[in-house]
Structure 1
Amino acid sequence: MFGLTSQIVRSSRSVCSNITEGYRKRQYEKHFKSNLSDADSENSETQLWIEFAVACDYISEEKKTDLMNKSQEIGKLINYMINNPNKFGLYY
């Protein structure tokens, strides 16, 4: 259980850190999108670990549904940022 918890914490924190890193370098569109893509990948990894948590009976289906809904909403926001970088960047 510790290993799975550690993986969930690591991947979910990585979502935030990749968004932050990309935003700080948002004047470079490709760098911005690259970091957002990494954030999206980490978000998907978090979803995988949530699935494992259910399979191992560490969390309930109800908790899984709640967490997956939140993760999917985060994914939508990240993809909006990827598809609309001009709304977040300082492109010259």
Structure 2
Amino acid sequence: LLARINALGRRPAAQEQKTALRVADLEMDLILRRVTRQGQLIDLRPREFSLLEVLMRGEGRVITRTMLLERVWDFHFDPKTSVVETHISRLRAKVDRPFDVPL
């Protein structure tokens, strides 16, 4: 028991998992699965939520179409469809259009 306690003490501290993401005035609560912008609730479908989460986690970095297909749709190949573009368009309509400044 003492050896196990010592071993656990030598391990690096666990990183705290984020439960909320924020980009500008867009907020995402990962536990409640709720997205708000300027205090207004944005109703997203599950796939749109996952897509937005990947984009918000990658803020400031280039995220390719292939990366989105792998992380959101779990495709490890390019099916040559416009599924990513279609979902991005729907997401922009919900996140940007009702507000003055597009993200």
TM range (shorter): 0.3 to 0.5
> Using CA pairs below 8 Å that are at least 6 residues apart, which structure has the higher relative contact order?
1
Question: Higher strand fraction: Structure 1 or Structure 2?
Answer: 2
Question: Higher helix fraction: Structure 1 or Structure 2?
Answer: 1
TM-score in terms of structure 2 length: 0.30
Bigger radius of gyration: 2
